[in-house]
Structure 1
Amino acid sequence: MVPVQADGLDLLAQFMKQARSGRAQFVQVVTSPSRAGQAPRAKTSSGSFEFHRPGKFRFDYRKPFVQTLVADGQTLWLHDVELNQVTARKQSLVLGSTPAALLTAAADLQALKADFQFAPEPERNGLQWVRATPQSPDGQIRSVLVGLRATPAGPELAVLDVQDSLGQRSVLTFSAFEINPVLPASTFVFKAPAGADVIKP
């Protein structure tokens, strides 16, 4: 049971400890900074998300474009179906200070403190919040707000609100969150489709 007085940092530590795997639906809203008097532009996408710690996750984007993002523990794969293009990057080089690393890379909160500083934020919208700031100021991420919901089964992830160094904001809202589902190993195996261009920057 989650103590009533638990703040966001407590809940995040519990989530990291209890949730070895997870599955959820998500909606992502990416807002670009306004330019020269234009209003900020927002793009909305949605799909499903699965992870298994340490180091494996999968985002299946279904709307408005079909894309798959898979981290298999070694390689981060991005498949753009419309372009018939696959990009493969070494996972250790791209995940150190990304929001996905918050969820999937480390076994517990203590292990994450090598890459992030954490501070609890005031409760709002029925959620407890933690602000994670990368230790390295040179990365793409400026800060990540993590929103967690206390449930009888334990804390679950509700929101990731990411600000990047270019002023872009990406808000991922999760629903139908399942903690510790049994996920087949094939979930995190990616094979490039026949005929797809494979790019390894």
Structure 2
Amino acid sequence: MNIFRRDWIGVCCLGVAMLASPWVHADGLEALSQFMKQARSGQAQFTQVVTSPAKTGQPPRVKTSSGNFEFQRPGKFRFDYRKPFVQTLVADGQTLWLHDLDLNQVTARPQAQVLGATPAALLTAASDLDALKADFQFKSEPDKDGLQWVRATPKKPEGQIQSVLVGLRSTEKGVALSVLDVQDSLGQRSVLTFSAFELNPTLAAQTFVFRAPAGVDVIRP
């Protein structure tokens, strides 16, 4: 996992955005169900805050990054990190690509092997909520901070992700994804906050095509 700039995989696999129907839902689980049925594509801006467990005598390490996010079902998404460093993460449906500009390196992995029970699989791959229940348990959580919440817990405890808390906000156009709060098995927490989300935009086919720049090392672990 450290190969994907140490803080990322299973968290940003991001991946991914959420709008649904134009009425207020009874709970977060119903809103999530509507999203799974209706959202075909989306784009948003994001801020990610990763908090690592504190070491003895030291405070927790906190890293903040931001950029743009796009997705298209089934199984395609793109994260363009802009601050504090430039990275591009693209899932094209077959391969997951990570371009680290600072390292002048591209890492490529088979998408099916990498994602599995991750937030990306949770929100971009399946056509409806029932299709995810083989891998996740879902539970509505109490409303908080003006959001409706759903907790998704992988059924296989040996995975990297311990739980994913999804926060949704009712808007005039429907229900928007506001927060993905991911807790991993090593005690690291990653909170993705989405803004300016657009539901079902028409995205260019090239959005999810990645070609390694000339002269960049391509690693296929």
TM-score class normalised by the smaller sequence: over 0.9
1:55-113 Cα deviation digits (max 9, x unpaired): 00000000000000000000000000111100001000111111111221111111111
Q: What is the RMSD computed on CA atoms of the aligned residues? A: 1.0
Answering whether residue 196 of structure 2 is matched by residue 176 of structure 1, we say yes
**Residues 1-201 of structure 1: pairs in structure 2 closer than 5 A:** 1-201=21-221
Counterpart Cα distance in 2 of 1:3 and 1:164 = 33
Counterpart Cα distance in 2 of 1:10 and 1:40 = 35
| Gapped regions of structure 1 (runs ≥ 5) | none
Q: What's the TM-score, normalizing by structure 2? A: 0.89
1:17-62 Cα deviation digits (max 9, x unpaired): 1111000000000000001021111000000000001100000000
What is the CA distance between 1:4 and its match in structure 2? 3.5
Percent of aligned positions that are identical: 77
| Gapped regions of structure 2 (runs ≥ 5) | 1-20
What is the CA distance between 1:153 and its match in structure 2? 1.5
1:111-144 Cα deviation digits (max 9, x unpaired): 1112111000000011000000001111100000
Counterpart Cα distance in 1 of 2:206 and 2:134 = 30
| Total equivalences in the alignment | 201
Q: What's the TM-score, normalizing by structure 1? A: 0.97
What is the CA distance between 1:152 and its match in structure 2? 2.3
Which amino acid is the alignment partner of residue 149 of structure 1?
Answer: R
Q: Which runs of 4+ in 1 moved over 3 A?
A: 1-5
Are the structure 2 counterparts of residues 5 and 196 from structure 1 closer, same or farther at C-alpha, using a change threshold of 3 Å? closer
Which amino acid is the alignment partner of residue 33 of structure 1?
Answer: P
Counterpart Cα distance in 1 of 2:65 and 2:25 = 35
Q: Name the residue aligned to 2:17.
A: none
